[in-house]
Amino acid sequence: MKKIILILFYLPIILSAQDSLMIQIEMDRLETTQTKISENPGTFVNYQDFWRIKFNLSNNFVSVMECRKEFEDQFEKLHTKYIGNDSLFITQAWIYWEYLQIMSETLFTRLPSKRGQMNRDEFHAIWKMHEKERAYVNEKFIQAVEKIPENKRDDNLNKFYKGMLKRISLRKFQRDIKEKPAPDFEYKTLKGETNKLSNLRGHYIILHFWQTDCNPCIYDIANMHQVFNLYEPKGLKIISINASSLDSQWDIDVLKNVIKELDMTWIQVPDGKNKRIHELYYISIWPTSFLINKEGYAIKFDHNLRAEKLLPTLKSIFEEH
Dump pLDDT digits (tens) for 109-122.
555 444 455 667 77
DSSP secondary structure string, 260-299? HHTT--SEEEE-TTT-HHHHHTT--SSSEEEEE-TTS-EE
Dump pLDDT digits (tens) for 242-272.
998 787 888 889 999 999 999 999 999 999 8
Q: What mean pLDDT do residues 209-215 have?
A: 91
Q: Residue 290 pairs with which residues in a beta bridge?
A: 207
Cα–Cα distance measured from residue 291 to residue 297, given in angstroms and rounded to the nearest whole number? 8
Cα–Cα distance measured from residue 208 to residue 212, given in angstroms and rounded to the nearest whole number? 13
Q: What mean pLDDT do residues 129-133 have?
A: 88
Q: Cis peptide leading into 312, omega within 30 of 0?
A: no
Q: Report the chain's mean pLDDT, rounded to a whole number.
A: 87
User: In the prediction, which pLDDT does 16 show?
Assistant: 59
Dump pLDDT digits (tens) for 35-83.
999 999 999 999 999 999 999 998 777 889 999 999 999 999 999 999 9
User: In the prediction, which pLDDT does 108 show?
Assistant: 60
Selecting from 3.40.50.1370, 3.10.310.10, 3.30.200.20, 3.40.30.10, what CATH number does the domain 186-318 have? Answer: 3.40.30.10
**Range with lowest mean pLDDT among 31-40, 101-110, 174-183, 195-204:** 101-110
Cα–Cα distance measured from residue 88 to residue 277, given in angstroms and rounded to the nearest whole number? 40
Provide the residue ranges of all domains of the chain, joining segments of one domain with +: 2-176, 186-318
Dump pLDDT digits (tens) for 159-170.
999 989 988 887
